[in-house]
Structure 1
Amino acid sequence: MELAQPTATQLNDYRTGMQHHAAAFIERHQQEHLHDDSLFDRTVNHLVDVWDVPVFMADRLVHLAMTERLPKGRRWIGIDMASAPDFCVFHDRRANKIVQVPSSNRLHSFLQDLTNPAPR
C-alpha cells in the first residue's frame, strides 16, 4: 500500500492553519507571560500536544506567529554609539529597556560597519 504524498497547496494550507492556531494561543495567553519568556515554549507544546505538529515544525511556526505580532516598519532595537567614549547603549523598544555595552575596538568597528555599510 502506497501513501499519497500531500501537494504543495495542502502543505501550505496545513502550515498556515497551524500558524493561525499558534497566533490564537499566543493572543489568549500573552497576559500570563508578561514577566517571563515561557510563552514561546508553551505555544510549541500546545501545537505538539493538541494539534500533533512535529516539534521541528512547531518551533518554526511559533517563531513566525510571534514575529507577525511585532510592529511593522519600526525598528525594535536602536544603538546609540555616541553616549560615551567607553560604552554604547542598546535601546530595546519592545521591552522598553536600555542596556549599556562596554565599547571595545571590535564592537565599535562592527557597529560602524552595520550603520555605514561599504559600497558594492
Structure 2
Amino acid sequence: MLDHTGIGVADVARSAAFYDAALGALGLRRVMQLPEDLGTDGIGYGRDHPIFWIDRFHPHSVKQHTAFAARSRAEVDAFHAAAMAAGGTDNGAPGLRSPATGYPQGYYAAFVLDPDGNNMEAVFRG
C-alpha cells in the first residue's frame, strides 16, 4: 500500500494551476508546500496529508501515469472537465472502459495529459 507518491514538473507554478483544478474536482487540495528558497519547491495534495506531490527536484517530462480514485462517475467527469479547462490535453474522455480491452467490469475513467505530458487518470470502479 502506498502512502504517497509524486512527479517532477518543469514549472511548479504552471503545474500547480493544472493540479489545483483537476485534483480539486476529486476533493483533493494543497495540504503542504515546500518553500522556493530551499531550491526544492514542491506542493503536496491530499485531504488530510499529502498523497501526491509535484516538485522540481525530481526528473520531469518522463511521461508517468498516475490514477486517482474518484468517489463517483460525476467526480470522474468533473476531473476531466476541470483538467481540460486548466490546460490539460484529452487522452481519453470520461466513460466506461471495455472488459474486452482488459479493463474490469464497471471501470469508469477519464485520462488527461498534464502540462509535462504525464497521463493523469481519474477512475471510479462502480
Q: Which has more helix, going by share of residues?
A: 1
For the criterion TM > 0.5, the same-fold answer is no
Q: Which protein has greater RCO, CA pairs closer than 8 Å, 6+ apart?
A: 2
- What TM-score bracket applies, with the shorter chain setting the length? under 0.3
Q: Which has more strand, going by share of residues?
A: 2
